[in-house]
Amino acid sequence: MPFEAPLRVSGWRPHPGPQTAFLRSTADECLYGGAAGGGKSFALLLEGLRDCRNPGYRGLLLRRTYPELRKSLMDQAHKILSGLATYNVEHRAWTFPGGGQLMFGALGDDRDVHRYQSAEFAYIGFDELTSFTQYQYEYMLSRNRNIAGLRNRVRAATNPGGVGHNWVKARFIDTCPPYEKRWFLRDGADETVVTADTPRARSRNFIPARVTDNPTLMEADPGYIARLEALPERERRTLLEGRWDISFEGLVYDNFDTTLHVVDAVDLPPDWLRFRSVDFGYNNPLVVQWWALSGDDELILYRELYATRQLVSDIGPLVRDLSANERIMTTVADHDAENRAELEKHGIPTVPAVKKIAEGIQACRRRLEPDRERGLPQIYLLRDCALRRDPHLVAANRPTSTQDEFAVYQYPRDAGGTSIDEIPLDLDNHGMDAMRYAVMHVEQMKARRYGGPQYRWRRLEGI
């Protein structure tokens, strides 16, 4: 359907090509993604205005943080809508003359979706979708409903990369040829391509974006492409060329699946063995992980401190107090003697971690792989186990938890994309290191007590 501007907004119109195709999409879900600067955020905003004259219309535009919203969508909305609609600062919502509303929100972590538990939105737009988790996206799909008789739709815009690169690629890029609408039927964790007349099927399509699709940017900033061309190869290919196929080849843990390994919070039995693992840092994250080990040899990451610019002397009391009512067996730590001594001062004795990288990675991969007997892995992360999102990491668009690191922890590659080393890049890996320490500690204990790493613990008494 052709896009018709619902308001008389002088000078603001979609550009011919992908931006217009995005606005004409009739799919239930549509991703406008690829190169930087393609006019994607503006298209999300325009789509949010489609039904604004309807008094029952409610639309929602989302980013991970409010500062990100202010720098992009909210600033653009003020330029377009000032004088045409009324803005409520407290609720971050524009109300139009007919009564429709367009709201702005942020999902800092998975728990934030529950703020919208009873809400209804005919339109939901995700800006920079790869910065969101799969859980956040799929939960918000349940809020895409209305009683005003309007067409429900979910739209998203993004560049390749980011912590959500893998699931976004799997949902849209791998399954939807550009511009082609396809229908999918979900049955539990399984999803199949079906015909349009299949009951309960939902449709999706993908509109690729290029920087040259945005003539407004090209005229205002003619040097933009040159700056993208000067980026390192991987960033150049993703941001300039919009490439999805090479961005995260060479992932260390390509068998990590958020739908399998990330589970809702539960009360863990108090008799399960518990311990901590620590990787020290300051400008880079200092990571403390709390682990529980079940009688079936399942490791569960149930709490995590992931912070920058924090001294060990500052976080020591917090780590101790968070574990006050728990029986912590030990703390497995990086080898830095000074930092380990500082933890000791706060009543946190440590043991040195086994730091064999390649061997540790293989041990972690074995735990991530579902076993043949039950089809289940032997390592889990509780959803929202991270205590907080570090604001410095958020501002730098870097991982803010161990879960985030899975999507960016990778091996170095040559120009052709082939991995050239068995040791991963030393970047955004502090949660990965702490996890490896935990896994290797358990494997070491099993080897010492039972003579081999394959023993499956059934009981924990006496350990």
For 326-372, what is each residue's pLDDT tens digit? 999 999 999 999 999 999 999 999 999 999 999 999 999 999 999 88
Q: Residue 1: which pLDDT band, with cuts at 50, 70 and 90?
A: very low
Q: For the residues 439-454, what does the mean pLDDT come to?
A: 74
Q: What is the pLDDT of residue 458?
A: 34
> Residues of the chain with pLDDT > 70: what percent?
83
Q: Residue 457: which pLDDT band, with cuts at 50, 70 and 90?
A: very low
Q: Residue 171: which pLDDT band, with cuts at 50, 70 and 90?
A: very high
Q: What is the pLDDT of residue 420?
A: 62
Q: What is the pLDDT of residue 454?
A: 40
Q: Residue 39: which pLDDT band, with cuts at 50, 70 and 90?
A: confident
Q: What is the pLDDT of residue 169?
A: 87
For 237-267, what is each residue's pLDDT tens digit? 666 666 676 556 678 998 888 878 998 888 8
The listed CATH number (3.30.420.280, 3.10.20.30, 1.10.3720.10, 3.40.50.10490) that belongs to domain 258-450: 3.30.420.280
* 18-239 carries CATH number 3.40.50.300: yes
Contacts of 143 (CB under 8 A, 6+ apart): 60, 116, 119, 120, 121, 124
Mean model confidence pLDDT for the chain: 85
Plot region of 242 (φ>0 → left; ψ -120 to 50 → alpha; else → beta) = left
3-state secondary structure the chain: CCCCCCCCCCCCCCCCCHHHHHHHCCCCEEEEEECCCCCHHHHHHHHCCCCCCCCCCEEEEEECCHHHHHHCHHHHHHHHHECCEEEECCCCEEECCCCCEEEEEECCCHHHHHHHCCCCCCEEEEECHHHCCHHHHHHHHCCCCCCCCCCCEEEEEECCCCCCHHHHHHHHHCCCCCCCCEEEEEECCEEEEECCCCCCCEEEEEEEECHHHCHHHHHHCCCHHHHHHCCCHHHHHHHCCCCCCCCCCCECCCCCCHHHHEECCCCCCCCCEEEEEEECCCCCCEEEEEEEECCCCCEEEEEEEEECCCCHHHHHHHHHHHCCCCCEEEEEECCCHHHHHHHHHCCCCCEECCCCHHHHHHHHHHHHCCCCCCCCCCEEEECCCECCCCHHHHHCCCCCCHHHHCCCCECCECCCCCECCCCCCCCCCHHHHHHHHHHHHHHHHHHHHHCCCCCCCCCCCCC
Domain layout of the chain by residue ranges: 18-239, 258-450
Same fold for the pair 18-239 and 258-450: no
Q: What is the pLDDT of residue 259?
A: 75
The model's pTM: 0.67
> Residues of the chain with pLDDT > 90: what percent?
54
pLDDT at 163 over 50: yes
d(CA 247, CA 392): 24
Strands 273-279 and 328-333: parallel
For 267-277, what is each residue's pLDDT tens digit? 899 889 999 99
For 382-412, what is each residue's pLDDT tens digit? 988 999 889 888 877 788 999 989 988 988 8
pLDDT at 418 over 60: no
Q: For the residues 66-92, what does the mean pLDDT come to?
A: 90
